[in-house]
Chain A
Amino acid sequence: AQSVTQLDSHVSVSEGTPVLLRCNYSSSYSPSLFWYVQHPNKGLQLLLKYTSAATLVKGINGFEAEFKKSETSFHLTKPSAHMSDAAEYFCVVSESTGNQFYFGTGTSLTVIP
């Protein structure tokens, strides 16, 4: 069975400092992994995805994530936070057939000026 655990419900960083949003997953198959961002009163936007190619995945807006199979993790990072990064972030896992998607509970990122 698939599941996703986002280890922090809230993360607060200062503008210009690094961002780390943590995600662990469990999967019986080779998973596909995604990070989505949801800005206030908006839908979900895909930040990046891992689908068994390179383990370090680069996404939009300077975000990247590293797939670590041994740790069953897919943490999202950004070297320098911007005010516009303040949003809700969701880690999502899907098995290879893509018929089911499992959402983490979300991490709310606050960026302090």
Chain B
Amino acid sequence: SAVISQKPSRDICQRGTSLTIQCQVDSQVTMMFWYRQQPGQSLTLIATANQGSEATYESGFVIDKFPISRPNLTFSTLTVSNMSPEDSSIYLCSVRLRANVLTFGAGSRLTVL
């Protein structure tokens, strides 16, 4: 299975600022997924990032708020822009491998003050 590294693992940010989360995979993958897990909640898909094309966003998520980059087959970034306390969540990067299994990074725990 793939190993996924996410940075930062956690951060505390001020309202109105932006934070970029990095996701590095140790193998080449076509699709990378970004999820949000709000406190005490399940996972919600933010967007799917394909290399060489724009990310596909789920309902309720927009590119201006969550811009995503996918420069190659092993790396992606998610930016949380103009943060508010409601953005305090765990952000998880995920890839889909053989047998349609999702593998997750350890997550980036974001607290917005």
| Residues on A facing B (Cβ under 8 Å) | 32, 34, 36, 41-46, 49, 51, 90, 92, 94, 98, 101, 103-106
Majority DSSP secondary structure for residues of B touching A: strand
Given contacts A43-B92, A44-B92, A106-B42, contact A101 B102 (CB under 8 A): yes
Would you call B106 an interface residue if the criterion is a C-beta within 8 Å of the partner chain's C-beta atoms?
Answer: yes
Residues in B whose Cβ lies below 8 Å from that of A106: 41-42
Most buried by B among A36, A43, A94, A106: A43
Most buried by B among A36, A45, A94, A98: A98
CB-contact partner of B107 in A36, A42, A94, under 8 A: A42
| Residues on B facing A (Cβ under 8 Å) | 4, 6, 41-45, 92, 96, 99-107, 109
Q: Is the CB of B107 within 8 A of A43?
A: yes
Q: CB-nearest residue of chain A relative to B106?
A: A43
CB-contact partner of A44 in B6, B45, B104, under 8 A: B104
Cα separation A55 to B101 with both chains bound (whole Å): 18
Q: CB-nearest residue of chain A relative to B92?
A: A43
Cα separation A108 to B80 with both chains bound (whole Å): 28
Q: Is the CB of B100 within 8 A of A90?
A: no
Apart from A43-B106, A90-B43, A106-B41, list 8 A-B contacts with CB within 8 A.
Answer: A43-B6, A43-B92, A43-B105, A43-B107, A49-B99, A51-B99, A94-B100, A105-B42
Residues in B whose Cβ lies below 8 Å from that of A43: 4, 6, 92, 104-107
